[in-house]
């Protein structure tokens, strides 16, 4: 059975957590390192998708975690994995950094 994960659009993310209130959340970027060179968000924690199982201890299961990737597909899988591993407040950034560059920061390059 697959764990249900709440989807947040970039706009909904910004409304829920204005920049001044993001200290208590983890924005987890699960893209590969070469993708970060193309576009990245400040303050995001980068752990590539394939490293999540080995690096799970770096994440606090009590803090809200918003998982992001390029389009929202890989991050949805990681978010489900986190929920299955007893993380309490996990969200998927729908559309990923591509949607972020359209909805929130048009200066952020698209790839």
Domain ranges in the chain are 6-103
Q: What is the pTM of this model?
A: 0.94
Query: What CATH number is given for 6-103 in this structure?
Result: 3.40.250.10
pLDDT in tens, 41-65: 989 999 999 999 999 999 999 999 9
Which residue among 27, 47, 69, 90 is the active-site one? 69
State what percent of residues in the chain have pLDDT above 70.
97
pLDDT in tens, 4-36: 899 999 999 999 999 888 999 999 999 999 999
pLDDT in tens, 92-107: 999 999 999 999 999 9
74 near 67, Cβ under 8 Å? no
- Active-site annotation holds for 14: no
SS3 labels along the chain: CCCCCEEECHHHHHHHCCHHHCCCCEEEECCCHHHHCCCCCCCCEECCHHHHHHHHHHCCCCCCEEEECCCCHHHHHHHHHHHHCCCCCEEEECCHHHHHHHHCCCCCCCC
């Amino acid at each position: 059975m697959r764990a249900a994960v709440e989807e947040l659009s970039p706009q909904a993310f910004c409304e829920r957590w204005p920049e001044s209130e993001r200290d208590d959340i983890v924005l987890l970027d699960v893209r590969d390192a070469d993708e970060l060179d193309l576009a990245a968000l400040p303050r995001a924690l980068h752990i590539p998708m394939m490293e999540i199982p080995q690096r799970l201890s770096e994440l606090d299961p009590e803090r809200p975690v918003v998982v992001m990737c390029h389009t929202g597909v890989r991050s949805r899988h990681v978010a489900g994995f986190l929920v299955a591993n007893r993380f309490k407040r996990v969200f998927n950034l729908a559309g990923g950094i591509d949607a972020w560059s359209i909805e929130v920061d048009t200066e952020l390059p698209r790839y």
